[in-house]
A = this chain, B = another copy of it.
Amino acid sequence: MTNSTLKYGVIGYGYWGPNLVRAFNQASGSKVIAVADRLTSNLAKAASLYPSIATHEDTAAIIGDPAIDVVAIATPISTHFELAKAALLAGKHVVVEKPLCASAEEAARLVDLAAKMNRQILVDHTFVYTGAVQKIRSIVDNGDLGKVLYYDSTRINLGLYQRDASVIWDLVVHDLSILMRLVPTKPDAISAISVDSLGIGVPAIAYVTVFYPGNTIAHIHASWLAPVKIRRVLIGGKKSMIVYDDLDPSEKLRIYDKGVELAPDPAREYQLKVEYRVGDMRAPQIPSQEALAVMAQHANTCFTENTPPLTSGEVGLKIVRMLELADRSARENGRVLRVESW
């Protein structure tokens, strides 16, 4: 371990923490040297897998450890703000599970604090680091898709009801992070409809619409009450269209050379003046590296060079703002709410 190796402390070793420990241990340029969790049973698991890692019940032992460069937070959302704030104040870079915070106000304060402390925040919006989303981004960037007309996502399955996140904060958040990569302009407005089908105060179905300038629209159907699991996004561009099926083991992306265009002949009367283009479909080979490993490597680079990650605090803040607006719209029965701050 050279001086240039980043030392990570991971807070939270429940569901996702073990993945972070593994990822930062395997990435080149980083090592996890300490783990904290309230449950000694979780710490015992960490100790048995990684005998050399220090384990603590108290998060202060991590945040206060001067040997630690980065604090990675994998705890319930409601605790993100206090933990990240303390870590930034202690001069650490921060990796935090998505979403960044439970409110835009908290998220904005973290972003400000990081700037003041000259440290970086990376929000673990894992989908951004998948080969599929990176490929779609490159297709958008190189102009092969043309103007984005729509983004339509179906992200449904049976369960699991979450205790600290509605279906919007649990599932729609993924699409919002992908959208930040594909349509990075400020949306005009958001509306959301949610349904508490069981009448237990926790909506299990949501339909969220994001309105962008120039008639571009994004729509996300999220549900914990579907009999089948679907993770499918349609992305329509002026020049081609993409079907992104995250569950397809071999062909996650299908790029269709299809489109509709105004016909040049304005004289046609009976038929509409549209023409269809139907060409080949192509399923590009997608690098099979694990998204988490890509994120970990990217984190190490950004922290070493002190440059903002793809999923920086600013990006995480914008996503939390949209989640908040979606929640508010859903409470107001789908009222369309303008996006003001960005």
Contacts and interface: CB of A to CB of B under 8 A. Distances in A.
A274 interface: yes
A193 B205 CA distance: 18
A337 to B, nearest CB: 11
Interface in A24-56: 48-49, 51
B225 A260 contact: yes
A217 B221 CA distance: 13
B270 A161 contact: no
Given A193-B217, A195-B215, A202-B272, A243 B228 contact: yes
Interface stretch (A58-66, A84-92, A152-160, A308-316): A152-160
The oligomer's copy count stands at 4
B247 A150 contact: no
**Chain A, interface SS category:** strand
A156 B150 CA distance: 13
Nearest to A162: B272
Interface in A190-245: 191, 193, 195-200, 202, 204-205, 207, 209, 215, 217, 219, 221, 223-229, 234, 236, 241-243
A284 interface: yes
A10 to B, nearest CB: 19
B282 A281 contact: yes
A278 interface: yes
B163 A270 contact: yes
Nearest to A194: B217
B150 A225 contact: yes
Nearest to A284: B280
Contacts of A258: 158, 227
